[in-house]
Structure 1
Amino acid sequence: MPSPPFPSDHDPSIPDSVTLLDEAGRSLECSVEQSFKDSGNTYLILLPVDSPVTIIAWDSDDDEADAAWVEEDEEIEQVFADAKAVLSEQNLTLNYAAYTLTVSGELPEVVEELTLEVPTDNGQVESEHFQVLTHFYHNDQKYEIYTPLDPLLLFARRAPNRQIELLSFEEVQDLQPHLRELLIQEMEREEEEE
């Protein structure tokens, strides 16, 4: 797994790890990579402990292949058992975690990499790099399972009752000045260590 993009030292009152819960009651264990305060709120930058994965259905004809992200609960539930079985052959355990699918276990070395255009919450498209883990078929449909090569950072707020809540895209945008400052501090720290 890539090294964390932020230093791990943070406010001692913040735990080293937290568990996010979604509306369906699923959980996602995350390490706290960084924390900061703004306007009386405590914000956390989180990194899932297990590796996030994505399942993509490929519909190919002779000329081109179309990718469809498997994101809806109903779609995931239909292919989950098959995906879990093929990942277990690599000693990986597929988890239906909160906010993302994850795998626990040691990822294989990157053999095959894929760059995909991914739509973002603000309607733009970004290129992301993925490691191909495996493929399987379900009802004559080809599926492939990928893990992102860049860390999946999640942004959350710790409420006064100590509950951790994931931030919306708009809330993350509002925090951009603080995030830039943290990145600059980390780059300066790395330069000093060299």
Structure 2
Amino acid sequence: MDHPGDEGNTAVANVMAADAAGRLLHCVVEQSIRIQGQDYGLLSPVDTPAHLCRWPDDSSAEPELIADPHQYPQVLDQLDMILQDEGLVLVRSAGLLTVAGDLDNVALDIDPGMDWDGAEAAMDASDLLHQVGATDDDDLDTYVLLASACQEGTDFGLYGSLNPCFLLARLGPGAAELLMPDELAQLQPLVEEALAHDEEVCP
């Protein structure tokens, strides 16, 4: 990774971010900020962020977002096989699932403004950016159904996000470490303050 710069540096650098389980996520460092002497980076995944959802028996209900998709390895295996037929690869990466490959030639079912029921995913830096820079006129998140699978009578769907996704990570020499949800919650006020003084990072 290129070394993290001073606060406000917008130079693009690639980094492999790791989570507590040792999984990796290939990211671009969109912005670096310094908080209490520590460098943090706003990272965006190189590949398409994806979310695993479970469909309830009620066909009129919204899908339930699964906070920890890694607890369904067999479902992920099925989805990966389906994606490979489209020239895509499901990456069980750090922080969130991602899908590698070109989506341009894939027939996608676009669903603007998807509402998730049930468990909520851990807040990422996208939420902080929205709180600081978004307005009521901003577009709703847009998702596409990339693949679906059935496991033991339960239907699952893998949705890709077409909106920018940002994760907050602690930057170190040649590496980045994704923050745990409790760490992110503690840093939230300081991150919001830092972002409010640097409007150019807001989408």
TM-score tier (shorter): 0.7 to 0.9
Matched, 1:42 2:43: no
Mapped to 1, the partners of 2:149 and 2:34 lie a distance apart of 45
Q: What amino acid does structure 1 have at the position aligned with 2:157?
A: E
Over 3 Å counting, the alpha-carbon distance change for 1:137 and 1:114 in structure 2 is farther
1:96 shift after superposition: 0.7
Task: Specify which structure has the bigger relative contact order, considering alpha-carbon pairs within 8 angstroms and separated by 6 or more residues.
Answer: 2
Matched, 1:172 2:171: no
Matched, 1:87 2:83: yes
1:30 shift after superposition: 0.7
- What do you get for the CA RMSD once the two structures are aligned? 3.1
| SS of match in other structure, 2:20 | coil
Q: What's the counterpart of residue 25 of structure 1?
A: 22
For these two proteins, the number of residue pairs brought into alignment is 173
Over 3 Å counting, the alpha-carbon distance change for 1:129 and 1:112 in structure 2 is closer
Q: What's the counterpart of residue 159 of structure 2?
A: 146
Q: What amino acid does structure 1 have at the position aligned with 2:97?
A: L
Superposition pairs for residues 150-161 of structure 1, below 5 Å? 150-159=163-172
| SS of match in other structure, 2:79 | helix
1:11 shift after superposition: 6.7
* Structure 2 unmatched runs, 5+: 1-7, 131-139
Over 3 Å counting, the alpha-carbon distance change for 1:52 and 1:120 in structure 2 is closer
Q: What amino acid does structure 1 have at the position aligned with 2:192?
A: Q
- Contact 2:56 / 2:63 at 8 angstroms: preserved in 1? yes
* Structure 1 unmatched runs, 5+: 1-8, 188-194
Deviations 1:104-138 (A, max 9, x none): 0012475421423354658x9x9643122222222
Over 3 Å counting, the alpha-carbon distance change for 1:111 and 1:163 in structure 2 is closer
Deviations 1:45-72 (A, max 9, x none): 111111111111102336x325222333
Deviations 1:19-45 (A, max 9, x none): 111222211111111113333222211
- 1:60 corresponds, among 53, 57, 62, to 57
Deviations 1:150-170 (A, max 9, x none): 1110112224x6652323232
The structure that is strand-richer by fraction is 1
- Calculate the TM-score normalised by the size of structure 1: 0.74
Q: What amino acid does structure 1 have at the position aligned with 2:176?
A: I
Matched, 1:106 2:113: no
| SS of match in other structure, 1:60 | coil
Identity fraction in percent: 25
Instruction: Decide which moves more: 64-73 or 82-91.
Output: 64-73
- Contact 1:70 / 1:76 at 8 angstroms: preserved in 2? no
- Contact 2:88 / 2:101 at 8 angstroms: preserved in 1? yes
Q: What amino acid does structure 2 have at the position aligned with 1:59?
A: P
Q: What's the counterpart of residue 136 of structure 2?
A: none
Matched, 1:70 2:72: no
Mapped to 2, the partners of 1:157 and 1:84 lie a distance apart of 30
